Each structure stands twice: as C-alpha cells, then as structure tokens.
Structure 1
Amino acid sequence: MFNLTVMMEICGISTCVGHITGTDSSNSFFSYDDIYLSTPDCRPISISLPIEKKRFSPEETKCFFEGLLPEGFTRRCVAERLCADESDYLTLLSVLGSECLGAIKIVDPINGEIKAAYRPLEDHEITALAAEGASESAEFVSKSHLSLTGASGKVGLYYDYEKHQWYLPIGDAPSTHIIKQSHVRLKRIVANEQLCLLTAKNVGIDVPNSFILQLNGSDDADILFATERYDRKMQDSKRMLNHMPVPYRLHQEDFSQALGIAAINKYEKNGQHYLKRMFDTIRKNCSDPLHDQLKLWDLCVFNYLIGNTDNHIKNVSLLYSEDLRSIHIAPAYDIVSTVVYERSTENMAFSIDGIYDIRQISRDHFANEAKLCGLGVKMALRRFDDMVDKFADALNHATNDLDNLGFHDTLNLSHQILDKGGIHHYI
C-alpha cells in the first residue's frame, strides 16, 4: 500500500500539497491535500493537474510523477540496487524523491525522512564518477536519495566555489549543480554540449552557467560536465546546513508533464503537433506569453541550425516563481548536435510543418509552422534570419573558447556542425 506525501517548497517553506494513495502503480492516484486547498490562492503543482480537480486518475498521476525519475540505464541500475522492478515508479520515487528537479519532494511515512546533510567528496570519488560511468552515478543517486530525470548518467552535487569543494547532498539537502558523465554516452559528448550551449548563449539564447570539470586530462573518462541548477536560488545566507548556505528550490516542470504526455511518448509521432501545443500552453499559462513564445521559437530555430534532433518535450521546461504565481520558459538545456554522430537519427523530435527529417526542413517550413503556432510570420522569419546571420560567428567564438581550454578537437566538431546541421542550407 502506498501513502506518499507530496511536499513542495513555496517561498522557502516546505508545504504539504497532496498525497499519492493506492496499492500499486496501476491504481494509485494523486489528490490535493484538504488543508492546502483551503489556503487562499493555492496553486497547482502542474498545468496538467489543475487545482479545480481534487483527485486524478492513475494515468494522470503517473504521467506527472514518473516524469521526476531517471530513465534508461540509470533507472535500471537504481532499481537493481533497490531490488525493485524498474516499472514500479512509486517504489523508486518513495526512495529517490527527497530531492527532485523543481521544488517537489516525496515523503514515504514508512521509510521516514533522512536527515539532510552535505558530505564532502574526495578527489578519488569524483574521478570514479567520471571513469566508471552510469553505474557509479546510480550508486550516488541511491546513496543520496536524489532523483534527476533523463536517460544519461547524472547526479546532483553541491559546489562551494570559495573552497573549490564538491559535496554529495544527503536526504533533502538541495544540490546546486547537475553533473553528467561523458564516455557513457557518445564520443566527446561533453565538449559537444558545452560547444552548443556557448554557441546558444552567443546568439542570445538564455542558458544556465556550465563548465567542463577536467580531472586528469581532456579524454572522455577524465572529464565531467557541470551545469548550475536554474531551479535552485541562493537568495540569502539565513538557511545554513553544515555551515554552508542552502539554496531555495524553485518549481519547474517539463512540457511532457505540463501537457500530460507520458515520458515514453516524448518524441512526436504521426503529426501530433507537439510544438503547437507547447505554444498554446505558453499563451494560456505564462506570465509574459509573447516573450516566452519568442524564447521557444528561438530555441526551436537554434536546435535546427545546430543539428539537435533530440529536442523532445522533456528537454524544454517551465520555471515557476517562488510563490508559484508566475510561470516562464526555463533556460535552455540538454542541447547537443546529434547529427555529427553517424548512428543518430536525422528525424527531429517534433515536426516542423509536418516534416521530421532535418535534411528536408527549410525556412519555408518554419514560416508555415509559425503560422500554425499562432506567431506572426514576418516576425518569426526575421528572428530566423537574424539567428542564421549570427550563427557562424557565435560557433567560431565558442570553438575558440574551448580550444583555449585544451579541447582542440572542437574545431573538427564545429566543421561537422556547419556541414550537417540545418545551418548548412544557409552558408
């Protein structure tokens, strides 16, 4: 029997917002807490779980809450360590839910809460995380009771910039960075992602701060990719743990959760018009809908130009204010030029004017998609052309920055992007 308490940090205060109740994943449902519902101006935890409805079906419940869990190999490794079935999302969440993406926390009254702490990591532990891949990250995840979405090997760590020290958050202690391994995925994936994020920043796209953590060199097994969490905010030093400031949690949800689409269906099929649905969601729910629509449009254009065909709906998120009263598009993340890898698909994760194959998508298709999504076509194409004009210089500056750090193969990577990404149609 499951009776999980769903907590959310609102303005820095951990608040009970609801409960998940049932005997197993097939019949468990989420309902908002009566006391929370009686709070003036209480806000929903998801666009797909509106406050007007008190009880949600097992399908609706699973769609949102399973979206908090890791995917792929990391999830299988964690399930094995817990002696659980990887499809049993509630058992996994009951153990890993102390620290999730956003401001949600899952508490299992049976297991109780684990005392929050930050444990200093030794250099050999960081090195092992880089060298041993997803199995090592799964051990970190299990030990810290922390859940991060996505299929790649990643963990959440706390970084003290003054001491240059990494810490493993225990229990519900918030992390400050998401750390990814390199060689467990595709060759030079870390350099690839940093190159794409720096290029995105150079063309004016909002991205989180990120850096490559070099341990013993620049080979894949010697580096990690660190991204500052935009859903964590160091507001003041009043909250302390182990003599270190504790960040506030900001709530977020990806578009898979917001649209009520299961993670298994994060890639669009058969003309489901995911992009139009995303724009409609922004118009209805975001505090500055025009600004956020343009941010989404720019991101779509950039993913096309850089050759990122893994631009699925879990890789775009909405970020809430501390009091949940305002919603905006979150900074862009998980941008990689996938087309530079021979085994990657050339089909985009959602269509542009009904076309999936990146090799066949053109400026005219973007014009038609803008009209379908309710954007002014002239304005949308003006932004498209502006990004095309900026792209080569932005990529060149990002390449030089990484070359100066010792990642000399990024020059070859940038040539591949110009040759295989959507940008090749315009240069």
Structure 2
Amino acid sequence: MTKELFVYIAGRKIGTLDEVNESLRFRYEDSYRKDPSAIPLSSWIPLREDETVGAPVRNYFENLLPEGDLRDLISKAIQVSKENVFGFLEHFGGDMAGNLSILLPGEEPGQRRYLPIPRPLILEWSENHSGKPLVLQAKDSRLSISGAQDKISLYLDSSGEFYLPVGDAPSTHILKPDIRFREGMSHSSLNEAFVMKLAEKIGMDVPQTEYLPEIRSVLVKRYDRTWPEDSSGPIGRIKQEDLCQLSDVLSNKKYEAEGGLTLSQCFGLVRKHSTQPGPDTIRLIGWLAFNGAVGNMDGHAKNLSMLTNRDKTVRLAPFYDLMSTTIYPELSRKMAFRIGGENRPEWLMSRHWKRFADEMEIKSPLVFRTIENIIGKVQKELPSVKLEIENLALSESERTFLDKLTRHIEKSATMANRLQIATKGRTSERDRELPHEEEEEKIIGPS
C-alpha cells in the first residue's frame, strides 16, 4: 500500500505527497487547484498540473529538511537514510517553515497541541546531547522538523513559558542554543544575538532577536507568522521559499563554490519574484556589505528567502542567521559568493564592487552609497550594541568573548572601509544617505 502525507495550508488540505516508482509525487486537491485564490507551492509545481513527479517535488521538499552534518546526525538517530526525503517528513512534519504543515493520514489539522518544555531541560539538553535531536527524547514523534536541528521551534506564551508544537500547531519563535556538534564555535548564540542586534540597530530588516544567558541561547521571533490582535486568536503562517527552492535545486547547491547559485542568479530571482524589486535589490546589496563588514562568510542562497503575503505581494524576507564566522579559525575565510570575481574579504576592493555593479546592471553610485552607508553605521553602532548586551547577566567567559567579538568586527569593518570605500574618495554626508523609495526604481538600471 502506498504511503501518503497530506499537505495543508491554514488547515486546508491542498494536496498529497507520496512516492511512485521511487520518485516523489505531489498531487493538488482539485478543489484547491481550481480555486482562483490558490497560490502554487512553487512555480516548479504549477497549479495547472494535477500532479508533478520527480525532481521539482524532491527539490522543493528536500529544502525543508535539515542540512549537511545535522541531517547526518538525525539520519543515524532515526535510522532513516539522509537521502530519504519522504522518510524524514514521516518522522517530522507538522510545523514547517513558511505556511505549510504536513500531516499523516488520520491526523487532524488545527489541533494546536503543545508540550511544555522547562528552560532547565533545554540547557541540560544543549550541554549534554551528542547530536541527538531534542524532540526524539519526547514521547510524541510528530514534532516540528526544526526541533530536530540545533535550533528548536517553540511556542512562547504571554508569560514567557516555552512549549514544543505538536502536529501542525504553529510555533512563534526559534531557539538556537550554542552549537556544540562542531568544534571551535564557542558562544555561537551570543555571537548571533550580537550580530543580529547590530543589523537591527543600523536599520536592516531582521527578525526580533533576544539573547538568553541563563540557557546560553538566542531567541528569534518568527517572521513567517502573523499575530492576532487578540492573544487567544490563532497564529497565521506566511508562504516562504528560499532561493534554492525558487531555482529548483537541492540544498547542497547553496554555495557558489560547489556549483550552486551565483550572485547574478540570486539578484535575478529577487527581481523576478519581488513585487518591489527596487527596494529589495538595495536591501540585498546592503546584506552583502554587512556580511563583509562583520565577517560573515556563511551568507549563502538558503539564507535568502521570499515571502508571499495573503494579498499576493512578494518581498525579500528579513535577513536571518547572521553571525561573525571569521572569528572562528576553523571556519572558511572565503565569502559564500564572489563579488566581482573575488571571494576573499581581505582582497575585496572598490574595483570588484564596480565590476559587480556592471554584472548586476545596477548603477555603481547606488552600490557605493549603499555599502558606505552600511559600513559606516556598523562602525558607529558597535559600542552601543555591545553596551546593550553587556547589561545582561553574562558570565565572565561570555564577557570575554563579547570583548573579543567587538574588537574583531571593528577590525573587519575598518578593513572593509579602507579597501572598498576609501579608494573611491569620500562622498558628502548628504550623498551617503540611501535614496528614498520613490527614487529606487529609477536608479536601478545599467551603470
């Protein structure tokens, strides 16, 4: 008998996922497929077809799973091959990224079940587990796939208590304890909280982030959710696709160096799908400049997503998973993308940004004003963000790391300013400001 999984949006069954001849197949419900308000899972799984089989289905659903080393760890724990996308989704479905939930036959949508999880248990698990997912220690095996990673999908109630979502119950936050399955990444959650706070401080669009020193974790409010005016009302979900899903490739193509997406392809996807391509193009340039300024070499294609709102407007999602990776000697010193042909930050200069502008068909003055604005604000706001984090109840080890991290980012931003901006000459304070939204569409074009 063929095994099936049912895919839901907002409690409505929209289709069925199964396997046929060793290939994944997705079939839309006729009522959904013929609904004028329906939105396809992906442009690669179109509504006009009653079923889609093979690579487009595999690529879409595979990108919902954990990646790399984490998938290897979970694969061994649940004894399911890491290549078995359907098998993973059988174990973990429910609350997915974006607006989907995936349930087994017989499971009812909209149950809103949650398991309480005390904060001391989270701390104990994060300090003592050896790659075993937290949810596998729970009695209910149909918990969120995000809970099977080094991050945990949680529901945070009005009193600040944590709960694990069961079935398709929506989570509200992502909790990320310190990374312990990789050597040499001490205080990763403090690192991410600091860099995310810095991004917020300089005006970048990022989700609300909080560092919790008592459990050495960073708490991130989900941006792919909607919040009711009445606290007792239902949490809604927003459709999200990362750039690997949008380009119909597997998650192992997230790095350019591995034959994955290039910057040109990423900018092309954003321009193609966004209903506000001008502002989103500028935001994407700012993201590149910020990554270089803080030393984040892991800004890859799966860290970029598009959100589709209920009114069908599409925009670049808030930026996430920002941290300074170059502070860890064990991690790569090369950027995930080449900018104007260069992926070594210590060699990235104004001529590479000029080449980048030409390749992306963006006016170079806009590019330089954007990166100068970002780097300047990073340098200006570093002390205030450090002070904000210092006011928390940090351990001596955390304070030492915070000092080191601040000095490291200051050095990284200074180098970026010297190599990428100084050679262009200083612009006036007025020119340094980014253009107003009504100007953005006019500026983007051949340089």
- TM above 0.5, one fold? yes
Note closer, same or farther for the CA distance 1:118–1:358 as it changes in structure 2 (3 Å cut). same
From 415, 419, 422, give the equivalent of 1:424. Answer: 415
> Are positions 1:255 and 2:243 aligned together?
yes
| Counterpart amino acid of residue 3 in structure 1 | E
Question: 1:317 corresponds to which residue?
Answer: 305
Shift of residue 27 of structure 1?
Answer: 1.4
Note closer, same or farther for the CA distance 1:272–1:27 as it changes in structure 2 (3 Å cut). closer
Structure 1: stretches of 5+ with no match in the other structure: 216-221
For residues 22 and 112 of structure 1, what CA distance do their matches in structure 2 show? 22
Shift of residue 269 of structure 1?
Answer: 2.6
From 160, 166, 169, give the equivalent of 2:162. Answer: 166
From 25, 32, 37, give the equivalent of 1:29. Answer: 25
Shift of residue 123 of structure 1?
Answer: 3.9
CA contact (8 A) 1:68 1:148 kept: no
Question: 1:130 corresponds to which residue?
Answer: 126
| Counterpart amino acid of residue 146 in structure 1 | S
Question: 2:432 corresponds to which residue?
Answer: none
Question: 1:194 corresponds to which residue?
Answer: 193
Deviations 1:320-342 (A, max 9, x none): 2135x111111110011111111
From 126, 136, 159, give the equivalent of 1:139. Answer: 136
Note closer, same or farther for the CA distance 1:315–1:357 as it changes in structure 2 (3 Å cut). same
| Counterpart amino acid of residue 298 in structure 1 | G
Secondary structure at the aligned position of 1:395 is classed as helix
| Counterpart amino acid of residue 40 in structure 1 | P
For residues 39 and 58 of structure 1, what CA distance do their matches in structure 2 show? 25
Structure with greater strand percent: 1
CA contact (8 A) 2:254 2:260 kept: no
Deviations 1:43-102 (A, max 9, x none): 222244343444434111111101111224443444344332222110111231111111
Structure 2: stretches of 5+ with no match in the other structure: 419-447
For residues 102 and 70 of structure 2, what CA distance do their matches in structure 1 show? 19
Q: How many residues align?
A: 407
Between the aligned residues of both structures, percent identity stands at 26
Note closer, same or farther for the CA distance 1:122–1:198 as it changes in structure 2 (3 Å cut). closer
Matches within 5 A, 1:109-124: 109=105, 115-124=111-120
| Counterpart amino acid of residue 207 in structure 1 | V
> Are positions 1:86 and 2:82 aligned together?
yes
CA contact (8 A) 2:135 2:143 kept: no
CA contact (8 A) 1:182 1:188 kept: yes
| Counterpart amino acid of residue 113 in structure 2 | A
Question: 2:387 corresponds to which residue?
Answer: 400
> Are positions 1:153 and 2:140 aligned together?
no
For residues 113 and 36 of structure 1, what CA distance do their matches in structure 2 show? 16
| Counterpart amino acid of residue 301 in structure 1 | A
CA contact (8 A) 1:304 1:423 kept: no
Question: 1:219 corresponds to which residue?
Answer: none
From 8, 12, 17, give the equivalent of 2:14. Answer: 17
Note closer, same or farther for the CA distance 1:272–1:76 as it changes in structure 2 (3 Å cut). closer
For residues 37 and 171 of structure 1, what CA distance do their matches in structure 2 show? 24
Question: 2:423 corresponds to which residue?
Answer: none
For residues 84 and 261 of structure 2, what CA distance do their matches in structure 1 show? 30
For residues 111 and 78 of structure 2, what CA distance do their matches in structure 1 show? 20
Shift of residue 314 of structure 1?
Answer: 0.7
> Are positions 1:411 and 2:411 aligned together?
no
Secondary structure at the aligned position of 2:199 is classed as helix
Shift of residue 272 of structure 1?
Answer: 6.1
Note closer, same or farther for the CA distance 1:114–1:287 as it changes in structure 2 (3 Å cut). closer
